[in-house]
Amino acid sequence: MPTPITRSAFVDGTVLSNQRLSERLYALRINLALQPFRAGQFVRLQLPVGDDKVAKSYSLVNAPDDPVAEIFFNTVPDGRLSNALAALQAGDLIEVSQPANGFFVLDELPQKPELWLVATGTGLGPYLSMLRTAAIWQQFERVVLVHGVAVRAERVYQEIIQPALAEHPEKLQSISCVTQEDNPDGFQGRVTSALSSGWLEQHTGLTLSSEKSAVMLCGNHAMINDMKALLKERDMKKHLRHKAGNIVTEQYF
């Protein structure tokens, strides 16, 4: 079903918890009257910072049937909102836009049997919500999650990923790509190197092709551009509603 375009307004939410996952990663849980959303969509969070109010977009990590909004974010050096978010404590108020928006959702993907979910950093967030839907397992024969991070401690949310792997052993594979440390459990290097070196396809036993693959890319713009260039060599292009392709993207910064 096409994703409708919605107008959003801020509503008040109350922080339930703000868990520090690593040196600069946090999981923020917010109680609010959460309206229905599709896995992969984002809300805007707004807080007073100095004399201003600052609002920025953040993907929802929780499953669509979970009434508590969860945000996975990292602090950015001198970042205005991310550092204010990191200081939040249980009981604090925060404004959240409702309903959620965005087209980075399963319904907007081309009809292909194999889905590649590629993220760098907090770009993992939308996929955590998707992995907790029934739809992803109905829509795809195979799903490969590829997460690129700087250090091993940032391979977070294993408590969501490992049960999904155990529940769908024939369908789901999860791969970490760690750039600044050794990574005995996955690939050592960028997600782009995992693809261009042939490691990714060899390791998964799957081939990325315009016939079989739908690819979601989420994270920084450089990764998205570099991945798109590699996929273009395989005749894989951006997927549009009026022109079928393979790739959909969500650029965080």
Ligand X SMILES: Cc1cc2nc3c(=O)[nH]c(=O)nc-3n(C[C@H](O)[C@H](O)[C@H](O)COP(=O)(O)OP(=O)(O)OC[C@H]3O[C@@H](n4cnc5c(N)ncnc54)[C@H](O)[C@@H]3O)c2cc1C
Ligand Y SMILES: NC(=O)c1ccc[n+]([C@@H]2O[C@H](COP(=O)([O-])OP(=O)(O)OC[C@H]3O[C@@H](n4cnc5c(N)ncnc54)[C@H](OP(=O)(O)O)[C@@H]3O)[C@@H](O)[C@H]2O)c1
Contact status: 156 vs ligand Y (CB under 6 A): no
Q: Which of 125, 140, 239, 248 binds ligand X (CB under 6 A)?
A: 125
117 Cα distance to chain centroid: 8
Contacted by 59, from ligand Y, ligand X, none: CB < 5 to 8 Å by type: ligand X
- Cα 116 to Cα 127: distance, rounded to the nearest angstrom: 10
- Cα 236 to Cα 5: distance, rounded to the nearest angstrom: 27
Window of 76-84, 130-138, 170-178, 207-215 that interacts with ligand X by CB under 6 A: 76-84
Q: Which of 33, 76, 222, 240 binds ligand X (CB under 6 A)?
A: 76
Which CB sits closer to ligand X, 97 or 174?
97
Contacted by 81, from ligand X, ligand Y, none: CB < 5 to 8 Å by type: ligand X
Contact status: 183 vs ligand X (CB under 6 A): no
Contacted by 190, from ligand X, ligand Y, none: CB < 5 to 8 Å by type: ligand Y
Decide the pairing of beta strands 25-31 and 9-20: antiparallel
Contact status: 70 vs ligand Y (CB under 6 A): no
Strand partners, 89: none
Q: Which of 118, 144, 175, 223 binds ligand Y (CB under 6 A)?
A: 223
Query: DSSP strand E in the chain: where?
Result: 9-20, 25-31, 42-49, 52-59, 68-74, 93-98, 114-120, 142-149, 172-178, 187-188, 213-219, 247-251
Cis ω for the linkage preceding 48 (within 30 of 0): no
What is the footprint of ligand Y within residues 82-141 (CB under 6 A)? Answer: 120-121
Shortest spacing between CB 250 and ligand X, in angstroms: 6
Which three-class secondary structure state does DSSP give residue 82? helix
